[in-house]
Structures are given as structure tokens and as C-alpha cells.
A and B are shown apart, each in its own frame.
Chain A
Amino acid sequence: MIPVSFILNGKPVRCEVPAEETLVDTIRNRFRLTGTKKGCGTGDCGSCTVLLDGTAVRSCTLLTGMVEGRSVTTIEGVGTMDHLHPVQQAFVDVNAIQCGYCIPGMVLTAIALLRENPDPTEEEIRLAISGNLCRCTGYQKIVEAIQLAAERMRTTGEEAAR
């Protein structure tokens, strides 16, 4: 067991984990943050995407020991049902969500993209989410939602406050 301290959704946390434990299991099993989904466990589907110091990463291929001292954001740290992040709001508004299993990872990937690039082209959006598999939507409304979120965020500057 190794001790690990990191920032989880803005709060400092500490745990002891086996050296081989991956971040997705730590997040889900130890902190009971079940918004992060485990779709494959092999780094292929992107359902377990979280933000590590603002960058979208797959938490199933990241050892928990590697996040020592770093900042991890899960979907629970992004918005609440009463106060959605503009990306979340756009996903709801255009019905970009079907079964919803890929959505937390998809939202976090989109947030990371829009921080880097507030005005992405459709191609840039497609490239950014190409590591997040969705089997329900054909990505059409997801791309539209990210475009809508980008437009709204550029207009309101809401993201800057976060």
C-alpha cells in the first residue's frame, strides 16, 4: 500500500492504495464518485475520462500513485443538477445524451477542449472527442452541443469564472 495525496474536485484528499490500483477504481471505490464510468478498463473507450490538472486523461490507465500532488476533476466537480456547467447545459438542450454512459467523459473532454480552444471548428471538436466512444448517438448531437456550448461561453464568458 502506498499513501497518495491529491486534490479531488477542489478538495485535498489522502488515501492508501495498492501500487497497481488505477485512478478510476480509486475514484469509484474509495471516494464513491460513481459519475466516472468504467467501460473497458483498457484505455479504449474513454468513459472514465477525468481532468488531471485540466487535461483530459483516461483514469483507467493511470495509476493512482501517479496523481500525487496533482489536481483531479471528475464530473461531480463540474456542475450540479441545479447549476449546470454550460457544456452540460448544452448537452441537455440539444438532447446529445442517450444512454448516458459515455457522457461524463464526453463532457470533461469537451470542457478541456474549450479551455484550450474556445472557438473550435467541427473538425477540431471531432478530433478532440475521437477517444471517447459513444454507441448511441452517432456523435451528431454531441458535436452540436459542444458547438452550442462554445458559442454560449464565448458570449457570456462563463467559463472564465470556473
Chain B
Amino acid sequence: MKEKYIGTRAIRPDTLAKVTGAARFTADLAMHRTDLLYAKALYPPYAHAKILAIDTSEAEKAPGVVCVMTYKDLPAAFRNAYGADEPDKPILAEEKVCYEGDAVAILAAETLKQAEDAIQLVKVEYEPLPVYEDPLEVREIHPSPIHKDHVASGDSPVSLSVTVKNGETQPAFDQADIVVDHWYETPTVDHAYLEPDVCIAEPDPIQGGITIWSPQHAIQNAKQDLGAVFGLPQSKIRIISTVVGGGFGGKEDSTYDVSTVAGVLALKTGRPVTFEFTREEVFRNTGKRHAEKIHHRLAADKEGNLLGIDVYAAIDKGAYRSVDILPYRASYYAGGPYKIPVSLAKAESIFTNHPYGCAFRGLGVPQANFAMESQMDYLADTLGVDPLQLRLQNIARAGDRLHMGQVMLEERGLGLEECLRKAAEAIDWDHRTATHFYENQGPVKKGKGIAGFLYGIGTGSSPDGAHCLVQAQKDGSFNVQVSQSELGQGLLVAMAQIAADGLGVPIDKIQVDFADSAASVFAGPTTSSRSTMYVGNAVLDACRKMRERFLGYAAQMMEIGVDNLDIEDGNVVVKGKPKQFLPLSAVIAGAYTAQIPLAAIGSWYPPRVYFNETFTNDQMHTYTFGACAVELSIDTRTGLIDVEKCVLACDVGKAINPSTVEGQMQGGLAQGIGWSLMEEHFFDHGRMKNATYHDYLIPTSMDLPDLETIIVEHPSDLGPCGAKGIGEPPLVATAPAIRSAFHDATGLFVDEIPLTPVRVMKALKDAGRIE
């Protein structure tokens, strides 16, 4: 295959429409319709309360109101429960509310204003219940004070518990010269995508189904999950996700929070209904990155070799299960990218009355890596060695085993060492002058830090695989139909680049039909940094099938051996004889008359994984590696940290489109800096105290430095042209790199993020560095 488009900075087709305002997001689609009902929902003023009575009579009489519903009004065929992993979240709360995003009543009215006015007329009597916010406390309460007879966890306060057990750790800790033993804490944070969650639900009068337009990550999963909710065959659910205004994992689940409400009202009224969250509702109701408390013990010898880890992670699950593979991830990534002979790593997700924890770029790995990389800095400090050298000494190279026993394979692309060296070089690591507080003159202290990571591509849950449909048109153009979503990451251009090269046609002959369940086959979600590798491989597979068919038929037409033919630039050409060719359009048209099908399904599966009892199997087959290096300054008068330089080197295997790869790297860094320095949700009795952009701060252009990206390419033999994935990895090492630089500047380790001025001043004060 000739790589004509792969590896180039091909322009993304969606950018023209986005830059002119012509691109219609879901709320824009709603705005251009005149036949919609508008939905609103009533949410409780408590995070945990019994519902004693609901009175909807006034709301029902309000002008324009077409339908008011509580759980009692749900048709018997409906299932009052939904969720990405397990159906445990009610569309409408029944006996009690478990967090402040549980809808108690919903209604539909002719105008949005009428709906807003009417929902305020619903009266609910509550009996407040004790609110549970600390996972470590609530895990000791049996049975769970939050869920009774939970669909997956019964009466347990723990949603899911996973323990990686690889060998015996006790001897390692007995032999160790050094045991590094610390607790780490990370905050609850919001995706803060700019586009609020929204849905249009329209009943299909022709065949009795329903069509859902809603921005999301996984249309085919939604088709499956919503079928049971609406009491409809899954085949009758059509899901369309037009361009998504940012997702970062959150819209994998939050789409259900709006589409269940709009869908129920649409099916009940027989009319199309739209439901859009306000920004405040997005903050209060939708999923969050899980807060974690991690107890990490690391055994090492005095030469700095890692001997074993013993880790416990308590994960704030929030009120519902949502995407709950966090314990797998927290335990699986507990040892970072290092060779570690033995391991005991346990992680539990524990129900609280907070918003549900869901997928968020990195899905538990940033938390785990923060703890492990922080441990490495403690160890380097104890040994008095260079933190970079300690890492280079311990990273898992070909043939080495990670803590859970996985052997690293050269053919999968192992670029961590190159990433660490290049990132370090970019901040002139070897010439650090400013080590520690007192040598670092003046009130503004400067420091440098570095951290590394690995990140597995794909969900790791077998049998994960991808499929696509490719259809040839008789004019020589092609439809590539994928179920993936365009979230801004550049799906459309990457798939077009891969298909154009896979087929040998100009890129403008490729139309990527995306995220419409009626025009794609089940292919898993647009998550876990998997689309490039999984769907890209599926597209290549379909292209290969197409080429075989059309080259075979062209060989008959041209009366020449098929091995002498190739497809280049939309023509079937005789190799070495550029003047002898047939337009591909003629070949396709001819093939059709010869009863050769013009459509093919392409498929790809990674190596199959079977979980064992100790979770020591190879859950991931390919890793993206990276290293983040930062230079920062700390004003010891204000506690403000200024990241002055931030570099990320990532081994992506092969950059299908370097421009979109850089975009992912820069965006991930920005979110990583936000997570490290400023983002944090606060709760009072489970009620969010900062539910606006006013007081939930994400980085502005003034908060960020130049974000420097270095693309490293150690190809994986499994990827399309060696490509791995890059969606999530970029933010995995930012926090430990910043913490490391903070230590370099002040001589102090802080084990909690974000490093807000309050935490910085407290750390300086506790250490006696300031008065």
C-alpha cells in the first residue's frame, strides 16, 4: 500500500463548516425545527432524600403543557433504569433521590419558556437522609446506605472491587532497603465540554420505533441500551450523533441523562421532543472524573531497583455505576511503565451521594499514574539520584515484565525511553540550576519536572473489535460507514486518509458516513483511544476486500494477470506501464453487471484476552508511551503556580495525521494542567458548590504556556501502518510532572492535587517556609 495521504496534514473536512457556523450541532438542529415540544425536568435540592409526595396538578394546568410525568406515569413496558455498564439509574426517581441529578418529575410543553415556568409548579415533599461523601467511611457501612438490591452489587457499599495479584509481595517488602509509603488524593472534576448535553427524540410513525439525535461517543451501544429502556426492540432505535461539541468521555453516559427523558416524553406524546441541559444542569447532573484516595507502597533496593508494589485505591463512584471499569484500570496501571516483579494492587469503587463517576479522558489512568510517578520522585529523593535516571533505570524494555506480569514486546513499539530523553532535552533537564527552596533565590521559585507513562489502546475488554461498511459507487467514489463519532479529534479526516490509501483513490472520492446507527454496523464506542487502531484496521480490511474484487474483475476485462495490476489515483493501472489503465469507475460499473457486490464489511480484532482470577493477564496489547516535562515558577507570596514551559513527547506508533495528533496532545496537556492546578468540585452535603464556569475554573489562554509537542514513532505491528492511539494519553503524566517541578522548586512534596494557591500556601506554611 502506498502511503500518499497517511502521514500528511490533510485538512479536516468538518473544519470549514465549523469555522463558518454552518455546522449544525444537535441544539442547532432543534432550533431549525418548528414541530418540537420542549422538555424540562425537576431535580431535588438534596443529594440524598426520601420522596414523600409529588404533586404535579398545578404544572399539568399550566399553559402549553402537554404532558407531565413522574415514575408512576411510565408505561409498564418501559424499564425505569439505565446506565452505560449496568441499568441502575432511574429515569424518574421512585422512593428516593441518591444525588442532586436524579430527576423527580419531567414535562413537555409547546415552548421552552412554558416548560421552564411549568416545572417550577411541581411540588415535592422530601425527607432528607444522611449524605455520604467519603468513600473510605461509607465502605464500612453494611448494608449500603445508598443502594438496596442494586442490580450489580446487591446491598454492598462497594460497586466493584478488583485485585491484581502477581506473586508474593511480602518477601519483597521484607527484603527492601527502602519502602516508600504514601497516600495520594485527586479531585472530582468535570469534562466541561462547551456543548451542553442535548437530545431530540422523534417517534417513527412508520415502523413504530424512535430516532434519537444526541451528541455522544457510542451510538451502537446507545441503540442497545435504550431499547430496553423504551421497551422497544433494539432494531427500532435509531441513534444519530452529529458533530459533537466536546465529549472527553463524558457523553458516553450523559447522553442517556437527556435522551431517556426526551425519549420517554416523545413516546408518551407521540411528538418530537427536545431536551437540553442548562450549563448548571451539566455540572450538577452529569458524570465526573472519579476522585480517588490511593495508598501506594513501593519496595526498592538501595540501587534503585523496584522490587514490588502494594496499592489500595478507594474510588468515589458517586451515586450510580455508569462506566465502572475504574477498579480494573486503577489496579492495572498501579505500577506505571516500570518493570516490577511482584504486585498486589486492589481498587474499589464505592458508592457516595456525589454525581456518578464516568469515563473521562484517561479513565482512571491519570490518577494511578499520578500516584506511581509521585512514588518514583520520593524514591529518587530518598536515594539522592536524578529522577530521570531512576526512571530510565526501571522502565520496562523488550522482554521485561510490568507489575501485573505482562511482557513488553518490541514489535508493539516501545518508545518510552526516546520520549523521556526528548522531553528532558527540551527543558534542558541536565542543567537544572534551581534545586530546592533556599538555593532558589527570591520570592519566586523556579523548578523543572518530568514524568512518564504508558497507556493501553482499546478497552481491554475482550472481545473488543471493530467493523465498518464500505460501499463502492459506480462513479468510482466510496462511502466509508463507521459508527464512530466526530468529537473534534479528527475521525473523519483520519478515516478518509486511511481509506484513500487503502483503496488507491483520491481522498475527495471518500465520504465518511459517521455516527448514524442506520448507516453503520456495531463497532464499539469512540472511546479508549481506539478508533485509529481498531476502526482504521477495519477500514483497511474492507478496502483490501474491495481491491481484490475490483482488481480481479479488471484483470478479466484487461486480460492480464491480476498480480500485474494496482489501483492508483482512482485508476486501475498496469504496473510499470503508466499509459495502460482503466478508470476505477468503469471497473466498478462493470463489476456490478457481473454480479459482484459493491459493498464489503471490514473487521478487525486485537488478540483475544481472557481474564484470570488474579487479573495478571495481558489486558492491553499495545501501549502508547509518553513523557511530560515542565518548567514552572511559584510565587511564594501568593501561592500561584505559573507553568512556563510544557513539553509532551508521545510515541504514537505512526501519526496518521500529525496535525490532529498535535491537537490531541495540546488539548490533553491543557486538561492535564487544569486537573493539576485549578479544577476541583466542592460539595456541601453532596450539593455542588461550584456549578458554573464562574467558579469551576478551566484553563484560559492566559493560564497556559506554549504547549510543545514531540511526536515519536515506534510502530506497533498491530496498528494500521503502525499507528497506535492518542486521544487520551496526553494528560496522563501532566500532574506528576508538575508535582515534580514543584518539588524541584521548593524541596516539598505535595500528595494532593490540584495545586491551588490554597494548597501551595498550606504546604509552604506547614514546612515553615513562609510565616
Q: Which of A41-49, A63-71, A150-158 contacts B (4 or more CB under 8 A)?
A: A41-49
C-alpha spacing A44/B609, complex, angstroms:
46
User: Is B23 within 8 A of A100, CB to CB?
Assistant: yes
| Contact B707 A135, beta carbon cutoff 8 Å | no
Q: With CB as the reference atom, state the residue of chain A lying closest to B215.
A: A99
Which residue in B243, B694, B700 is a CB contact (below 8 Å) of A100?
A: B243
A121 at the B interface (CB under 8 A): no
Contact with B along A23-60 (1 / 0, CB 8 A): 00000110011111111111011010000000000000
Decide if A138 touches B20 in the complex (CB within 8 Å). no
Q: Are A88 and B20 in contact (CB under 8 A)?
A: yes
Indicate whether A139 sits within 8 Å of B670 (C-beta atoms), given known contacts A42-B279, A130-B702, A134-B194: yes
Instruction: Give the residues in chain B near A141, CB-CB below 8 Å.
Output: 662-663, 666
**Are the CB atoms of B19 and A133 closer together than 8 Å?**
no
Determine if A129 and B701 form an interchain contact, defined as CB atoms under 8 angstroms apart: yes
What residues of chain B lie closer than 8 Å to A103, measured between beta carbons?
A: 18-19
B671 contacts which chain A residues (CB < 8 A)? 135
Contact of A35 among B12, B20, B693 (CB under 8 A): B20
Q: Least Cβ distance of B359 to chain A in Å?
A: 16
Known: A91-B19, A100-B19. A41 touches B278 (CB 8 A): yes
Chain B residues in 8 Å Cβ range of A40: 279, 692-693
Q: Does A74 contact B (CB under 8 A)?
A: yes
In the bound complex, do residue B25 and residue A101 qualify as a contact, i.e. CB atoms below 8 Å apart? yes
Q: Is B21 an interface residue (CB 8 A)?
A: yes
CB contacts (< 8 Å) of A34 on chain B: these are: 21, 24-25, 27-28, 31-32
Chain A proximity mask over B687-712: 1 for CB below 8 Å, otherwise 0: 00000111000111110101100000
Q: Give chain B nearest CB distance to A31 CB in angstroms.
A: 10
Interface status of B14 (Cβ within 8 A of chain A):
yes
Q: Is the CB of B667 within 8 A of A98?
A: yes
- Of the candidate stretches B244-252, B324-332, B336-344, B551-559, the one touching chain A is B244-252
Docked Cα-Cα span, A84 to B160, in Å, equals: 52
Out of B14, B27, B244, which one reaches A38, CB within 8 Å? B27
* B192 interface contact, C-beta 8 A: yes
Shortest Cβ distance from A78 into chain B, in angstroms? Answer: 8
Q: Is the CB of A35 within 8 A of B22?
A: yes
A160 at the interface (CB under 8 A from B): no
Complex contact B663–A133 (CB within 8 A) = no
In the complex formed, the residue of B with least CB distance to A137 is B667
Question: Within B1-50, which residues are at the interface with A (CB < 8 Å)?
Answer: 9, 11-12, 14-25, 27-28, 31-32
In the complex, the answer to whether B15 meets A92 with C-beta atoms within 8 Å is yes
Contact partner of B702 among A78, A100, A101, A127, CB < 8 A?
Answer: A127
Contact between B670 and A91 (Cβ–Cβ < 8 Å)? no
Q: How large is the interface on B (under 10, 10 to 19, 20 to 34, 35 or more residues)?
A: 35 or more
By a CB distance below 8 angstroms, the chain B residues around A33 are 21
Task: Give bound CA distance, A17 to B195, whole Å.
Answer: 26
Among A32, A75, A84, A140, residue most surrounded by chain B Cβ atoms (within 10 Å): A140
Per the bound structure, the CA–CA distance linking A66 and B667 in Å amounts to: 37
The answer to whether B21 and A99 have CB atoms under 8 Å apart is no
Q: Hey, which chain A residues are within 8 Å of B18, CB to CB?
A: 97, 100, 103
Q: Is A117 an interface residue (CB 8 A)?
A: no
Contact B245 A99 (CB under 8 A): yes
Q: Judging by beta carbons under 8 Å apart, are B693 and A136 in contact?
A: no
Q: Residue-by-residue, is B649-683 near A (CB-CB < 8 Å gives 1, otherwise 0)?
A: 00000000001101100111111000000000000
Q: Is A102 part of the contact surface with B, judged by Cβ < 8 Å?
A: yes
Q: Is the CB of A92 within 8 A of B666?
A: no
**Interface presence of B193 (CB below 8 A):** yes
CB distance from B390 to the nearest CB of A (A): 29
A142 at the interface (CB under 8 A from B): yes
Contact A140–B694 (Cβ < 8 Å)? no
| Cα–Cα distance between A86 and B693 once the two chains are bound (Å) | 31
Assess whether A139 is in contact with B12, with CB atoms less than 8 Å apart.
no
Taking A34-B21, A39-B279, A101-B195 as contacts, is the C-beta distance between A91 and B698 under 8 angstroms?
no
Q: How far is the CB of B281 from chain A (nearest CB, A)?
A: 11
Given contacts A88-B19, A142-B701, contact A99 B246 (CB under 8 A): yes
In the assembled complex, which residues on chain B have CB atoms less than 8 Å from the CB atom of A143?
701
Q: Does B64 contact A (CB under 8 A)?
A: no
Interface size class of chain A, counting residues whose CB lies under 8 Å from the partner chain:
35 or more
Contact A97 B12 (CB under 8 A): yes
Q: Is the CB of B31 within 8 A of A29?
A: yes
Q: Which of A41, A91, A101, A104 contacts B15 (CB 8 A)?
A: A91
In chain A, what residue has the closest Cβ to B695?
Answer: A44
Contact with A along B164-201 (1 / 0, CB 8 A): 00000000000000000000000000011111100000
For B248, the chain A residues whose CB sits under 8 A away are 135
B488 an interface residue at 8 Å Cβ cutoff? yes
CB distance from B294 to the nearest CB of A (A): 26
Q: Are B22 and A81 in contact (CB under 8 A)?
A: yes
Residues on the A chain within 8 Å of B31, using CB: 28-29, 32, 34
Contact (A76, B21) CB under 8 Å given A138-B707, A140-B706: yes
Closest to B660 in A: A95
Q: Is A72 an interface residue (CB 8 A)?
A: no
Residues in B neighbouring A88, C-beta threshold 8 A = 19-20
A94 CA / B15 CA spacing, docked (Å) = 10
B194 near A133: Cβ-Cβ < 8 Å:
yes
- Which of B195, B489, B701 is the one whose CB lies under 8 Å from A130? B701
B-contact 0/1 string along A109-153, CB 8 Å cutoff: 000000000000000011101111111111111110000000000
Residue from the list B25, B693, B706 in contact with A44, Cβ < 8 A: B693
Asked if B258 CB lies within 8 Å of chain A CBs, one says no
A41: min CB distance to chain B, Å: 6
Name the B residues within 8 Å of A142 (CB-CB): 701
Instruction: Decide if B543 is an interface residue (CB 8 Å cutoff).
Output: no
- Cβ of A79 within 8 Å of any chain B Cβ, yes or no, is yes
Interface pair A98/B488, CB less than 8 Å apart: yes
CA distance A25 to B698 in the complex (A): 25
Report if B738 contacts A (CB, 8 A): no
Contact status A45-B701, CB under 8 Å: no
Contact between A44 and B692, CB atoms less than 8 A apart: yes
Residue of B11, B243, B663, B668 near A92 (CB, 8 A) is B11
B487 at the interface (CB under 8 A from A): yes
Residues of A within 8 A of B693 (CB): 40, 42, 44-45, 133
Which B residues are in CB contact (< 8 Å) with A131? 700
Closest residue of B by beta carbon distance from A35: B21
* Closest beta carbon of chain A to B532's beta carbon, Å: 15
| B666 engages A137 (CB within 8 Å) | yes
Closest-by-CB residue of B relative to A89 is B19
Name the contact of B19 in the complex, choosing from A37, A74, A97, A127 (C-beta under 8 A).
A97
Report whether A92 and B194 are in contact in the complex, using a CB–CB cutoff of 8 Å. Answer: no
Chain A residue nearest to B708 (CB atoms) is A140
Tell me whether B12 and A95 are in contact (CB under 8 A): yes
Establish whether residues A136 and B244, one from each chain, have CB atoms under 8 Å apart when the complex forms: no
Given A34-B21, A81-B16, the answer on whether A135 and B702 have CB atoms closer than 8 Å is no
Shortest C-beta distance, B218 to chain A (Å), equals 17
Residue numbers in A under 8 Å from B662 (CB-CB): 95, 140-141
How far in angstroms is the closest Cβ of chain B from A10? 15
Give chain B residues whose Cβ lies under 8 Å from the Cβ of A84: 16, 19-20
Task: Name which residue of chain B comes closest to A129, CB basis.
Answer: B701
A136 & B667 in contact (Cβ 8 Å cutoff):
yes
Task: Tell me if A92 and B21 are in contact (CB < 8 A).
Answer: no
CB distance from A105 to the nearest CB of B (A): 9
Chain A residue numbers with a CB within 8 Å of B702 are: 126-127, 130
Give 15 CB contacts A-B under 8 Å: A34-B25, A34-B27, A41-B278, A44-B694, A81-B16, A91-B15, A92-B15, A95-B660, A97-B18, A97-B488, A100-B17, A103-B19, A135-B193, A137-B670, A141-B666
Known A-B contacts: A84-B16, A139-B701. Give 10 more (CB < 8 A).
A80-B20, A92-B16, A99-B243, A100-B17, A100-B18, A100-B245, A131-B700, A137-B666, A141-B663, A143-B701
Residues of B in contact with A (beta carbons under 8 Å apart): 9, 11-12, 14-25, 27-28, 31-32, 191-196, 243-248, 278-279, 487-490, 659-660, 662-663, 666-671, 692-694, 698-702, 704, 706-707
The 10 A-B pairs of least Cβ separation, nearest first, read A35-B21, A100-B18, A99-B488, A138-B670, A98-B488, A44-B693, A101-B245, A75-B21, A34-B28, A138-B666
